[in-house]
Structure 1
Amino acid sequence: MVADNSQDADRAKDELKVVTYASDYLQAYTKTIDRYYASVLQELITLEAAADMLPLYDRRLGVDTGVVAAHAATDFYLLFVDAAQVSVVRLEQLPGRLDAEWTHTAANERRLADVREWLDLRLPELAEPVNMPHTDFFSFDTNYWQTQAREHGAAAARRVGDRAVATLPRLRETAQRSQERKQLAQRYRVLSTSGLRPQDRGTQFERLWRDLLSFHGWHPKKVRISGEDNDFTALYNGLHILGETRWFATPMTGGKMREFLAKLDTRPQTIGLFVSHSGYDNGALSVIRRSVATKTVVRFDRADIDNLFLHRTDLGDLFSEKLRDAYDYLFERDDQA
């Protein structure tokens, strides 16, 4: 019984050291961010990226954060985890196979992977682990580890802070593109529910489509040629594209498709792209199919348009898929013949 009590007391002291170290580490981490990266922090909060880039900022042990510590006579690991996984601290002794030779010879990432597997951590930890190889953590007193914790926490904060500074341009660009995509989607929704005259709606849809092309880097242009009206040309993967947009109450007919195909007669190296919110009737589809040997037309319908504006479908991926279908039809027809 005395031996058991002594072991319990030693374990309690060890756990207290870990708790003290982890608490001071978190405090130093937060203070360093506040002192040297305050403006970066505020921008990350605005971009909703603070939790990812500065994962331990303002976290408190036993409130929203716990620690898992694994140790041996010459090795120590500490991982910060969500408090839902562990109340405050989980302290484990490394198994014999993870011995001094393993610590000395195994690569850092290999050792971390082995420790995670042995601990059976099924959820990702909050931040990079603390590892002190060739160190008997519990042979030093609490005051020593408090000093170390402040240094380690501050160093970790500087690493993630510098990483955040380097990543900010990409985060800003991503946020800007996300905002632009939302604006395109909102404009499309408004157009879908507005009471505009058909001609005005068609004009606005044409502009909106060119803006979508610009968003995806297709460099659209409005081309004006005497006697010919073209809504846009564009460039994608070296292909020259001539396109039209239509938002009618009824599907496109064979006559409309023949008019469009005639514009491709003088442009043998150009791919046609027809965008019809009201779809295509059987006559239109037949005209496009019969022309496949000499002219290539990619067609988008209402479902494609919805996917591009509302569901973040990539324009290039969708166009490539449709272009493949258009080309494959030529071989399908030959096989049937």
Structure 2
Amino acid sequence: MSTILLFSPYQSFSQQDKFEIIGQTMTHDPTICALEPNTTILDAWKKLSKYTRGAVLDWETQLNQQTRTRDVWNMELQLIPLEKQTHEIKCDITIEFLPKPQNKEEEFVVLGYTINNKQNDADIVIYFLNIELERVDYTEPANDPGYYYSIVEWIPSYADYLIPSEPLTMTIKHEIGHALGLGHYISYDDDALQKWQDGVQRPPSIMIPIEPTKVISADITPLDVEKLIQIYGRDGFYSEEIVDEIYESKIGHERVALPDWIRNNAKWWSDGIISDKDFASGIEFMIKNDIITVEITGTNSFSTEQKIPDWVKSNAKWWSEYLIPSEEFVKGLQFLVKSGIIQV
């Protein structure tokens, strides 16, 4: 379960900021169902519908812009009124709006949470009542007689109206990010964290943990979009079909299964960490053990005179970084076999 919680103070470590990754949660274009809440607040459903529609559209638009595609990344939003919620609703992502947490311990701490039950099945809960802070001034006696401490305390309470549009939309975008496979964006920079919480500096990600009583202003950034592209590839939610964490594609007329660990080999090879011969030997091993199947036309073993073309190495690098689909990487493997660079 992914939950927006209060920040705990971080120690200053020499660690880089990072994403917590949930992983690929969708295997097709997701259908998102937003459920109308049972509330007497005027125009609440109208506003919540608008904010949800904007959040979904923003994710779609930025994913398509980042991959320079059109209508590849699609999410269908269905707005479900109260009277239709008794029927069976088939959704990949369900968004439920509640006034406030039912658990007292989560009050004024949690703005929403996401539960990824399994692939294509995520539940989001968004709390929509605004939080007001009342200032209370009082004194307490000090240790020295005749002296007192002057104390200011801010007491939170739930109002009878919606959270303003910007933070509410931000929360919806944040939770959709969790449902699509992004964890929180974690920073070990105390100074940056404070600036984000105080609204002085815009955070680098919509996925930072959010404190309800702070003025954080976060939005979807290229960093968030690129991380999703690394999870799914550049061709939308359909780009990689996961079966038991095996990436599948086609080569020739046969089906080829590409275990995810091959990405590490491809990256190491493209970075010069392992040699052409070592990389070719790894591919040869997979072919001989029926991990992948290709048409056999060459019988020559690898030699140092048979240099692997640069375009094959470029494809390997781009594939290891999720910049091209498996099909393009596999074309390089097919070439290596047909040209006899790899012996099978």
Structure of greater relative contact order (alpha carbons < 8 Å, 6+ residues apart): 2
**Structure with bigger gyration radius:** 1
Q: Would the TM-score normalized by the shorter structure come out above 0.5?
A: no
